A and B are shown apart, each in its own frame.
Chain A
Amino acid sequence: MSQVAKELMALTGNEAAAYAMRQINPDVVAAYPITPQTELMQTFAQYVADGLVDTELVTVESEHSAMSACVGAAAAGARTMTATSSQGLALMWEVLYIASGLRLPIVMCVINRALSAPINIHGDHSDAMGARDSGWIQLFCENAQEVYDNVLQAVRIAEEVFLPVMVNYDGFIISHGVEVVETLPKEVVQAFVGERKTPYKLLDVEHPITVGALDLQDYYMEHKRAQSEAMRTAMPTILKIGEDFEKLTGRRYEAIETYRLDDAELAIVALGSTCGTAKDAIDELRDEGLKAGLLKIRVFRPFPWKYIQTALRGKKAVAVMDRAEGMSAVGGPVFHEVRSCLYDLGDRPPIVNYIYGLGGRDVSIEDIKKVFNELVPIAETGKVEDFYRYLGVRE
């Protein structure tokens, strides 16, 4: 348990991320403004202006250049961070793959926001889900405390597995909501993240390296295989760093978090701030006698299939909540992956998908209770009629 002095601070999610970045004191931050990320970057810019960090802040002319500058800085040997949302992440798309393909440990806060069109500035996961195959590790946060905690852990994860990490948190709901956040002293954070060590860097002019060579039929596939191996084997490192963090703070971070799930018959699977709402809904339902539970996915990439499989084994009915419409015509992205990892179970629970909360559409305790109540007949009959559903939409 915790050995260190902690401070309680009232912070928005964005301020929590900025404060974590201040304590990390990265070498380079390159960023471009976009709602709802702006508050994070302007808070950090003030730290730079006040001399509270040593960071070179590169205020680029686009998100494409933000990620490009991060790729350059990380390849040069610098500890590098950025943040964006929505369209900004979409504009970075090309360079996201270069960051991961070159195995550069960049940490990026993604303040989740709906993708245009129609244009909308509020929270959903369509930006992050669009980047789910880009080779970045993706962590999702439930609240401002987790934002602070995950940003600190992300630096170590990225640098130990040589993959970039996105720390996702819901736009406005988390980014602009003020919560009490327990922070660590700066020296404790510095000791936790350590110095970036890298065997190869462009600025080592005595040992010139070529980064980003043309790579054709002879080697491209081996390089992609090696990259996928890094993602496949990242989980033990992520869990180990979570354990180290728990020793400092008492807060536990794993691949998934379960809430009243062990003895639950009905389960929902969700990411982000909805998990907090779901916990309240579950408490009420338990009082009403319904055996409800939650599976929260913290680490979405690498996908924690083994943990999900174990946690959902034997449930009588499962609902997967997707805050992004995958436009596959058969459900959202989280649904497909959760459903797929249950395939190997002999006794597969019936499973349904809810697309919800798009463009910041509010999700209430009542909404979550409605989902559980709709699971009741599925659990009783074992049958699923329409597995692809919408929650809280006017039809």
Chain B
Amino acid sequence: MARLRDLAKKPSPLTSGHRACSGCAFPQVARQVLLAADTPVVVVIATGCMEVATTIFPYTAWQVPWMHCAFENAASTLSGIEAAYRALKKRGVLDKDIRFVAFGGDGGTYDIGLQALSGALERGHRLLYVCYDNQAYMNTGIQRSGATPTYAYTTTSPAGKVIPGKTQKRKDLTEIVVAHDIPYVAQSTPAHWNDLITKVQKALAVDGPSFINVLQPCRLGWTFEADMAIELARLAVDTCFWPLYEVVNGEYRLTYRPKEKKPIEEWLKLQRRFRHLFTPENRHLIDELQAEVDRKWERLLKKCGLA
């Protein structure tokens, strides 16, 4: 259980002055994840918003050892660093305890980086991979990804006269990672800082790979007011669109259960990417999304032994 009072005293791993959009939630994700670590960390980031907004030569916002290699290979790059750590420790060149954290957006994780992630998890490297999932290729200008929810508008799945946004389902990456049978998998959001920090601490404590999927509201891509990112993350959880849960050695546990399950509509209506659904002829699409949220929520409750 972390205390804000203590966290506030720790030096920030990410300085201010970076160039993230106003109202963006990824800096909170990065800061919360890294503040959770009590040992030094080495960070690798996939190409994406977090990489371009926090470095531009000769400047860097990172106060920890940090590397960017390419888009699809944050997991494999970090696995090489972790292997180097083990080799140098074995030789007695290095005696420090160091932890290894990768950050990748949903494009770099769900899609182009899925193979590298899967390989790194299978090989059992002791590293934490954090996906900051903002549900589209936001860095290149809001193109659809495997993480984009059904019926969301993106520039490559626009809502038009005959097609209402992305018609395919969202890939459930957390479940794909669970199938790798690694020691620790979880979902969280920056709105639930204590949930996220506790999960990071659990993840870093396991002697093996761990993965946390963090929903990160994107002001530009989802299109909402600059002060609404945290509220949208909270609503995603309270509507049960993005449940907070963890899977520890294959055992599912819900880490937060909304007192009152809010209708998905409340989350949708605050985002312009779903605006086209709020017409009389598209009303049934919202009902369809609600049914899908309900189905997946019930399925998760069963896995958690709560149904």
Binding site for B on A (CB under 8 A): 27-28, 30, 54-56, 58-62, 64-66, 68-78, 80, 94-95, 98, 202-205, 208-216, 218-219, 223
Interface centre among A62, A69, A74, A211 (most CB of B within 10 A): A69
- The reply to whether A30 and B70 form a contact with Cβ atoms under 8 Å apart is no
Contact with A along B163-194 (1 / 0, CB 8 A): 00000000000000000000000000000000
Number of A-B contacts (CB under 8 A): 164
- The residues in B between 52 and 68 inclusive whose CB is less than 8 angstroms from any CB of A are 52, 55-60, 62-68
**Inter-subunit contact A68/B69 (CB<8 Å):** yes
Pair B76/A75 contact, Cβ less than 8 Å: no
Q: Which of A30, A203, A213, A223 contacts B42 (CB 8 A)?
A: A203
A72–B76 Cα gap in the complex (Å)? 8
Stretch at the interface among B79-87, B198-206, B249-257: B79-87
**B55 and A64 contacting across the interface, CB-CB below 8 Å:** no
Given A54-B91, A61-B118, A71-B77, residue A205 in contact with residue B84 (CB < 8 A): no
Sample 6 A-B pairs with CB under 8 A, ordered by A number: A54-B87, A64-B72, A68-B77, A72-B77, A209-B66, A213-B56
Taking a contact as CB atoms under 8 Å apart, the answer to whether B57 and A69 are in contact is no
Asked whether B96 is an interface residue with its Cβ less than 8 Å from the other chain, the reply is: yes
Whether B40 pairs with A205 at a CB distance below 8 angstroms is yes
B78 CB contact (under 8 Å) in A72, A80, A95: A72
Interface size class of B (residues with CB under 8 A): 35 or more
List of B residues within 8 angstroms of A77 by Cβ: 84, 88
Supposing A69-B79, A76-B42 touch, asked if A204 and B72 sit within 8 A by C-beta, the answer is: no
- Pairs of residues from A and B, 8 with the lowest C-beta to C-beta distance, nearest first: A72-B80, A61-B119, A69-B80, A65-B76, A78-B84, A76-B84, A213-B55, A68-B73
CB nearest neighbor in A for B51: A214
Which residues on the B side are within 8 Å of A94 (C-beta)? 70
Question: Does B90 have its Cβ within 8 Å of any Cβ on chain A?
Answer: yes
> Cβ of B44: which chain A residues have Cβ within 8 Å of it?
72
Q: How far is the CB of B197 from chain A (nearest CB, A)?
A: 21
* A residues near B96, Cβ cutoff 8 Å: 205
Q: Is the CB of B80 within 8 A of A218?
A: no
Q: How far is the CA of A73 from the CA of B55 in the complex (A)?
A: 21
Seed contacts A212-B55, A213-B58; 17 additional CB < 8 Å A-B pairs = A28-B84, A54-B91, A61-B115, A65-B120, A68-B80, A69-B77, A72-B44, A72-B67, A72-B83, A73-B87, A74-B84, A76-B84, A209-B65, A210-B55, A210-B62, A211-B67, A213-B56
Interface centre among B64, B79, B80, B91 (most CB of A within 10 A): B80
Question: Does B7 sit within 8 A of A, measured CB to CB?
Answer: no
Cβ-defined contact, B56 with A60, below 8 A? no
Which A residues are CB-close (under 8 A) to B120?
65
Q: Kindly identify which residue among A54, A73, A216 contacts B84, using a CB–CB cutoff of 8 Å.
A: A73
Interface residues of B in 104-126 (CB under 8 A from A): 115-116, 118-120, 122-123
Find B116's partner among A64, A80, A223 (CB 8 Å cutoff).
Answer: A64
Contact B64 A208 (CB under 8 A): yes
Contacts of B68 in A (CB 8 A): 211-214
A95-B69 in contact given A73-B80, A76-B81, A76-B84 (Cβ < 8 Å): yes
With a cutoff of 8 Å between Cβ atoms, the chain B residues found around residue A75 in the complex are 67, 81
Inter-chain CA distance A94–B69, complex, in Å, is 10
- CB-CB under 8 A for A70 and B85, given A61-B119, A75-B67, A212-B67: no
Whether the Cβ atoms of A70 and B80 lie closer than 8 Å is: yes
B291 within 8 A of A: no
In the complex formed, the residue of A with least CB distance to B86 is A56
How many Å lie between the Cα of A209 and that of B73 in the bound state?
Answer: 20
Nearest B residue to A70, CB-CB: B80
Q: How far is the CB of A75 from chain B (nearest CB, A)?
A: 6
B70 & A68 in contact (Cβ 8 Å cutoff): yes
- Cβ of A211 to closest chain B Cβ, rounded Å: 4
Q: Could you tell me if B87 and A28 are in contact, using CB atoms closer than 8 angstroms?
A: yes
Q: In the complex the two chains form, what is the Cα distance from A28 to B58 in whole Å?
A: 30
Q: Is B2 an interface residue (CB 8 A)?
A: no
B21 at the interface (CB under 8 A from A): no
A159 to chain B, nearest CB (A): 15
- Contact of A204 (CB < 8 Å), options: B65, B73, B83, B123: B65
User: Which B residues are CB-close (under 8 A) to A215?
Assistant: 56-57
Across-interface contacts of B58 in A (CB, < 8 A): 213, 219
Are A76 and B85 touching (Cβ within 8 A)? yes
Tell me which residues across on chain A come within 8 A of B81, comparing CB atoms: 72-73, 75-76, 202-203
Q: Kindly list chain B residues whose C-beta atoms are within 8 Å of the C-beta of A209.
A: 65-66
Q: Is the CB of A60 within 8 A of B119?
A: yes
For A71, the chain B residues whose CB sits under 8 A away are 69, 77, 80
Instruction: Give the Cβ gap from A72 to chain B, nearest Cβ, in Å.
Output: 3
A348 and B74 alpha carbons, distance in the complex (Å)? 51
A208-B66 in contact (CB<8A): yes
Could you tell me the distance in whole angstroms from the C-beta of B193 to the nearest C-beta in chain A?
A: 24
Report how far A62 CA is from B119 CA in the complex, Å. 9
Are A76 and B119 in touch, CB under 8 angstroms?
no
For residue B164, give the distance in angstroms from its CB to the closest CB of chain A. 36
What residues on A are CB-neighbors of B98 within 8 Å?
203, 205
Q: Contact between A202 and B67 (Cβ–Cβ < 8 Å)?
A: yes
> Across the interface, do A28 and B115 meet the contact criterion of CB distance under 8 Å?
no
Distance in angstroms between the alpha carbons of A69 and B102 in the assembled complex: 13
With A27-B88, A56-B87, A75-B67 already in contact, the answer to whether A218 and B118 are too (CB < 8 A) is: no
